[in-house]
Structure 1
Amino acid sequence: MTILNGFQSFRETIAGVTIAGAIAGSGPPLLLLHGYPQTHAMWHAIAPVLAASFTIVAADLRGYGDSDKPVDDSAHLTYSKRAMAADMVGLMEQLGFPHFAVIGHDRGARVTHRMCLDHSDRIMRAAVLDIVPTHHMYLTADREFATAYYHWFFLIQPAPLPERLIGADPEFWLRSKLAHWGRTPTAFTTDAVAEYLRCFRDPATIAASCADYRAAASIDLTHDDEDVRAGRKVKCPLLVLWGADGFVGRKYNVLEVWRHYAVDVQGHSVPGGHFLPEEAPTETLAALRSFLAG
């Protein structure tokens, strides 16, 4: 289901994994990818506006929303960003869009980063919201990072520890994350939060989201190390946005970090915390439209 006004829900099976989402609009194709612990519903404030100029595909990542939640494997390949990126490239191909632009927030931004490396011939432009690369964050981890991003270290613990603890009260956990990372309590609409909760209450979503983070601390780093050693960088134009009051902008020189991983980087902060499309929809939309028009 979708709460995006004017959008049609879809379910497409890509290499045995069904990806759910919503589509609307006409014009150049633009893929929107959400973060943790949300769904494609997080784009509700800006996707309908973008649909006036683009064909918008707002997808749920594997393991999230109404997409399939395959059981993880011991090496966490199932939830590697490489596998999740391949889902989305396959989805866009199946919908008739072999080349497209992509905007990712949080986990979706990490999938976007991997997509730009693995499928550079497919991605015309990309935007990543409120992240610096996983590789850099682990490489430079310190007490400040571990304190702010404690969930990175909690969620990667062996199953079923985080699954059982989160599953005891998933609504408390989800609302705590929105409050912890956001700086604008009024940003989260009743309908959006209800949709996040509907999906996150599913034990399979909790397990899959833990697997996502376990992959980030293992196989994803292996892939990242290979790229760094080979000198592979994001080649397409890359827009980087971050919350002016959030941890990422406070901790990192965001553009400087990204210029070690991409060749054509621009960007700036927008008001609020981590959840840019909901906390600062006007400013986020303006930045995205300007970048995509270039």
Structure 2
Amino acid sequence: MMTGVISTPKVTGVSVGYRVKRFVLGFLKYFSLIFVVFWILLPLVTCFITAAKSEEEFRSTSVMTMPTNWLNLQNYIDAFKMSNMGVAFRNSFIVLVCVCFLTTIMGTMLSYVLSRFQFPGNAIIRGLFTMAALLPGIAMQVAVYKIMGDLGLINSLWGYIIMSCGTDVISMYIFIQYIENIPVSLDEAAIMDGASYFRVYRSVILPLLKPAIVTSLILKGVGIYNEYYTANLYLQDKQRLGTVAISLYAFTGPQGSKYNLICAGVIITLLPALILFLIFQKQIYSGVAAGAVKE
């Protein structure tokens, strides 16, 4: 009775090589993940450590020296009171809601018109928006500041909201991409049923843009919440009109900076974003994932 003979050394060699390759790839994958997470979390960890120290302890120890009292809440109380964060959170909330709502409405309407209607100048308008995206915002601040001053909108919260409501080019192109993937037959069917163009936008286009709107709101909301330069430039009454980003600079001055209070303020400003993320993480993940896929 004859039996087949298998070359075991060759199979063993292939198996060992495959296992080594798999081990190396797995090691590199997890090492890179741990490395990136370490450098992302390092500033946050140092903030927690510094925020728990008193001013004397901070000056006499290194950054990574553990505090003697982790439950030192006095720095958080002082940071909240001294920087007037109650007013800052109120102003930031008003700006965030108004800007996100208005930019979403204007961006989706403009994208609907540029995507669905072909008229002379359509391509020119798209090109101008692309050129505007390439220009640095700080280079145009002289002209924008002059216009805001002539309109009497400097040192006004609503003036800052109007200025921040400029069309976000990146969000507009996200909306255009989604609208172009929506079949035109849906528009035609709605129009045949007697719907106007605005009714088509409100009842057909807008509900189908939810994933794109979520993606746009994340980008715009994070940018507005963290905006410092324009808020500091146009909201000159810091006690009455200051935002969260401006309030953190209340502890800096010519005599030095109180970094323990600054770190406590940073942690306080992170809490609203963290709470919103934990509440709406399912919607955020689904919106971003849908925004990354084009059918």
Q: Same fold by TM-score, threshold 0.5 exceeded?
A: no
Q: TM-score, normalised by structure 2?
A: 0.20
Bigger helix share: 2
Q: TM-score, normalised by structure 1?
A: 0.20
Bigger strand share: 1
- Larger RCO of the pair (alpha carbons < 8 Å, separation 6+): 2
Structure with larger Rg: 2
